[in-house]
Amino acid sequence: MPDALEGTHKIIKEAREQQHNQLVPTVNDFNQELTTLNLGPTHPATHGIFQNILQMDGERIVSGVPTIGYIHRAFEKIAERRPFYQITPLTDRMNYCSSPINNMGWHMTVEKLLGITVPKRAQYMRVIMMELARITDHLICNSILGVDTGAFTGFLYVFQEREKVYEIYEEVCGARLTTNMGRVGGMERDFTPVALEKLRKWLKEFPAVMREFESMFTRNRIFMDRTVNVGPITAEKALNYGFTGPNLRAAGVDYDVRVMNPYSSYEDFDFEIPVGTNGDTYDRFLVRNEEIWQSLRIIHQALDNLPEGPFHADAPHYYLPPKQAVYKNMEALIYHFKIIMGEIEAPVGEVYHSVEGGNGELGFYLVSDGGRTPYRLHFRRPCFIYYQAYPEMVVGSSLSDAIVTLSSMNVIAGELDA
């Protein structure tokens, strides 16, 4: 074994011993005996597979150590072998509550690398799909927060609405959860009249349900008691911990990638960034609810101003042709073959592109050495970055507070572990 590795092992060993010593309760005083509680790895209240080793003094949490990596699937390593299109399914499976955002973020990264300009219509279509995904993501997070405080009904109300959004996805691309509607250079196909009709119908029906959902929780005494001043984090700390998305905005920082670095024509739309003040669970809930309304505003604007024109860029070397065209058109067949066999060669370069994901800045750092696969692909996964602040947010509170804090942070295990 080389010396460097041996040193490494020593460091691991020492660190593990140190961690172990921290975990083992020290019995100095009879009254201070601590209980070790394993919250997770698989527990309905942990919303995924991650473990929290909590030290409890009665009902109060003294310290916590989060352990992750239970569903690590080595996406970054796998991506080094895959042509650009075949990385799309990896991105789907990170934040599976809002997979269109992940997909399109990845496609935009490749477009940036290749220098493809996407036509306006495709950009607006992307905006519609991404905002739908954001709405479903926030709906799930907020309604599960309701379930964790003991209110199951609201969850049923909005889950039905998510189902309807998934039907729109199905109409647009054929898939529901792991969508495949995006392509490098645009969309796979245009919106069908049925899809537009479903979308308009949903836009008409959804606000009533949303209002009902809000009226159930927002001024609910029990809900407020369970969430106000629970799991707070200050703006300064949130920034230092690298928070983004609703979690950061709830602490009062109006950082939104859609406004700061507009992509996909977000600069054309008129919307506000809701911010909170305390950074507690209640603020995170309110910020997400308000973002749903803002997303609806964006969708309305995009639908009303949907430009005419092509739904994909004229880039045959990179744009994967729709399957129907492949059956009938020789050119499409050739390009389809070339792209699927991975004959696209990307230029040498490195590119960082980020989009506003369901729960924060989702970034793609791509290093290309001119081959058909990325030399290195690093995902900036918002969940991974802010979950490390969890112990700090829950220390001193009770176990039931820890549960609602966790669900209001919207940590998706698929994205945490990649």
> What residues line the site for other proteins (CB under 8 A)?
1-5, 7-9, 11-12, 15-16, 18-19, 68-69, 72, 74, 76-78, 80-81, 112-115, 117, 237, 239-242, 253, 255, 260-261, 347, 349-352, 354, 361, 363, 365, 367, 376, 378, 380, 384-389, 417-418
CB of 1 to other proteins, least distance (A): 8
CB of 76 to other proteins, least distance (A): 7
Residue 191 or 386: the one with the smaller Cβ distance to other proteins is 386
Closest to 182 (Cα-Cα) out of 114, 120, 97, 89:
89
Residue 74 or 334: the one with the smaller Cβ distance to other proteins is 74
d(CA 41, CA 51): 4
Residue 291 or 361: the one with the smaller Cβ distance to other proteins is 361
Q: What 8-state DSSP symbol labels residue 2?
A: -
| CA distances, 132 to each of 8, 104, 407 (Å) | 46, 13, 21
CB of 79 to other proteins, least distance (A): 10
Which residue carries 């070397």 as its tokens? 317
Residue 163 or 345: the one with the smaller Cβ distance to other proteins is 345
CB within 8 Å of 246: residues ≥ 6 apart? 138, 284, 287, 288, 291, 359, 360, 410
| Helix runs in 218-361, H state only | 221-227, 235-240, 245-250, 257-260, 281-304, 323-328, 330-340
CB of 316 to other proteins, least distance (A): 17
Residue 372 or 378: the one with the smaller Cβ distance to other proteins is 378
Q: Hey, what amino acid is at 333? A: L
d(CA 316, CA 20): 57
C-beta atoms surrounding 405 within 10 Å: 23
Q: Where are the strands (E) in 117-259, listed by range?
A: 182-183, 186-187
CB of 118 to other proteins, least distance (A): 12
CB of 67 to other proteins, least distance (A): 9
d(CA 29, CA 310): 74
Residue 250 or 351: the one with the smaller Cβ distance to other proteins is 351
d(CA 136, CA 133): 5
Residue 289 or 405: the one with the smaller Cβ distance to other proteins is 405
CB of 265 to other proteins, least distance (A): 14
